[in-house]
Amino acid sequence: MKNTAGGITRTEGLISLILAFILPVIGMVFSIILIRQLKGNVRMRWMRVAAWIVLVLQILVLLGCVLGYLTFYFAVPELG
């Protein structure tokens, strides 16, 4: 008997969450997929909240990388 929530099993959801944490930019895709598939599901609400947290963290990491690159580029333009 499968425990499904919004078309995905708990195992698939956990694997997607782990991949969302590990993979930098691709993790955002896994988070968005989880958020969309678990919409309106009360039973797996914790997984949807975790996906939102991962998405926010991934966006912050991406913004930090872009900010770091821009800082380096404008500080040392001949190396950028």
List, for residues 40-70, the tens digit of each pLDDT value.
877 888 899 999 999 999 999 999 999 999 9
Does the global pTM surpass 0.85?
no
Residue 80 pLDDT > 60, yes or no?
no
8 Å CB contact between 37 and 7: yes
- For residue 23, pLDDT beyond 90: no
Percent of the chain scored above 90 by pLDDT? 29
**What pLDDT is recorded for position 4?**
58
Handedness of CA 48, 50, 52, 54 (dihedral sign): negative
Q: What is the pLDDT of residue 59?
A: 93
